[in-house]
Amino acid sequence: MNRRKALQQIGLGVSAGLVLPAWLSSCKDDDPAPSNTYNGVIGIVGAGAAGLHAADVLRSKGIPVRVFEASDRIGGRVRTIQRITQPDDALLFDPANESISEFPAELGAQFIWGSDSAWGKIVSQLNVPVIEFYTQGSDIFIVDGTIKSAAELAGDADFIAAKNFVTNLSSNASTGSVQQAIASAGINARMFSILNSWIGNTAGTSNTLLGIKTLAEGISLRIRNSQQLILKANPMEDVLLSRYSNVLPYVEMNSVVKTINYSGDKITIGGEKNGAEAFTAEVDRLIIAVPVSILKSAAISFTPALPSDKSTALSRLDMDGSIRLRLEFKKNFWGMNSAYIYGGTQAPEYFNAGIGRDPLQKTLDITIQGPKAEELSALGKDMVPVILSELDAVYNGQATANIRRDAQDTILYTIMDWSKVPYIQGGVSYVKPGGSNADRITLSAAVSEKLFFAGEATDIVGEAGTISGAIQSAERAALEVVDTITLA
């Protein structure tokens, strides 16, 4: 059975209550194998979306792979709370009080950006139900300390100027930060928080730290449509693992790569397995699909050192803190027809997570990235009252009054703090002022036809920070590997 073709023709497999058809799950040794053979082995560091996709491409061509994953789970920054999930240093919640929401709690990647994007096409091929939530609601905004709809702001000259700034981002020729470009455009300060919600926070940081040149270049390069979708009922993590179920057996978890020596004919990998046991491995080519934060931290030592231009490119990229906070309430007080609440200073993005999925819509998924995430991270669970206070200020105290509590009157919450995940250490990559898309291109470039680079930070077509960006970068890296080896 052609597993790739089969996966394109069926719905989901092993999770979320969906059963993998027997004719697919029982693909056996007598199934036709890829006609190509390769006597070596390709190593892949990282089992997030990029690492899994790279392995899938290579295995489809009959090329052996070993995937080294530092953590005890597969999926990287795609993570959903499951029944077996337990709290840890990065994930705070009370497992004794189950969620009342009729949809999964996404801790990382939550949206499908573009129905015709790489990830959007995969989800469509798997027949996973999705919701285009903007057909069912619209955004609302915190302006001048009150909540206003887009209709109420239609005649507000400052709001119109802010919208025009975003609309024309792709043609913005500035070279500093997004915030500097906003100031140069003469936009009133009362719109700064909304613009930070729309731009900086979405890009993984703040407008003050985000370079506008790379942002404009990325938007210009993007070819997908602008639809923003959510999964109706299936966990994002389950969809990812179902799609790449054929390569999961090649993942070696709890394998922390610490050294990479590519000075000889073979590449020697050294590291630690299961928290204590040293290990080494030899591979013929190596795809590095780890977050940019890990590359910048020098957690992996390269021999010889990476080329200076790659180090320079890394210095122009960064990855800030990122928090996903889920709050459930006794009632919806923000509006059943709302999509996002934008313009907060503590939390730039509040998402009405039940839209199109839950008739009661009593859940807010809150995403905070950049310096504000790092500030709130230091508070731990005490960030929750800070967020509730911001909502109370514009909703007349209804947030604190209606927040879900346990039998002891303790506030219930789910906090995912990505900066506290040891082998991720943040949200998504961005390019700082002074950088450009050329830095992503440099970072993505192969080294000595031995080292290859994948992951959302190495996306060069405007999809950085998304699952699609990770997948497209992995496709590129895997095909670059194929071009350097001889298949029998």
42-78+233-318+431-487 CATH: 3.50.50.60
Question: Tell me, what amino acid is at 304?
Answer: P
User: Token pair 């405007």 is at which residue?
Assistant: 462
Q: Where are the domains of the chain?
A: 42-78+233-318+431-487
43's tokens: 């190593």
Cα–Cα dist 49/469, whole Å: 9
Cα–Cα dist 134/337, whole Å: 9
Cα–Cα dist 85/77, whole Å: 15
Asked if residues 26 and 13 have their Cβ atoms less than 8 Å apart, the reply is: no
Cα–Cα dist 483/476, whole Å: 11
Strands (DSSP E) found in 55-126: 65-68, 91-92, 112-113
DSSP string over 55-112? HHHHHHTT--EEEE-SSSSSSTT--B--TT----SSEE--TTS----SS--BSS---E
Q: In angstroms, what is the C-alpha Rg of the chain?
A: 23
Asked if residues 431 and 204 have their Cβ atoms less than 8 Å apart, the reply is: no
**Rounded to whole angstroms, what are the CA distances from 25 to 31, 52, 246?**
12, 18, 9
Question: Helices (H), strands (E): how many in the chain?
Answer: 16, 22
Q: What pLDDT, on a 0 to 100 scale, did the predictor assign at position 36?
A: 76
DSSP state of 107: S
Model-level pTM greater than 0.85?
Answer: yes
362's tokens: 């009593």
- H helices of 317-358, in order, are none
Length of the chain equals: 488
**Local structure of 247: helix, strand or coil:** helix
Asked if residues 55 and 274 have their Cβ atoms less than 8 Å apart, the reply is: no
Compute the CA torsion angle 424, 425, 428, 433 (nearest 10 deg). Answer: -140
162's tokens: 């802010």
Asked if residues 426 and 373 have their Cβ atoms less than 8 Å apart, the reply is: no
Cα–Cα dist 325/54, whole Å: 31
Q: End-to-end distance of the chain based on CA atoms, in angstroms? A: 22
* Strands of 285-288's sheet in order across: 251-252, 65-68, 42-45, 285-288, 451-453
Quick: pLDDT tens for 275-286: 889 999 999 999
Q: What pLDDT, on a 0 to 100 scale, did the predictor assign at position 31?
A: 44
Cα–Cα dist 196/194, whole Å: 5
Question: Tell me, what amino acid is at 58?
Answer: L
Cα–Cα dist 456/440, whole Å: 10
DSSP string over 192-251? HHHHIIIIIITTTS-TTTSBHHHHHHHHHH--S---EEEESSS-HHHHHHHHTGGGGGGE
77's tokens: 């920054």
- Please list the ranges in the chain whose pLDDT falls under 50: 1-31
DSSP string over 14-30? SSTT----HHHHT--TT
Q: What pLDDT, on a 0 to 100 scale, did the predictor assign at position 487?
A: 84
Cα–Cα dist 390/393, whole Å: 5
Compute the CA torsion angle 177, 316, 349, 88 (nearest 10 deg). Answer: -150
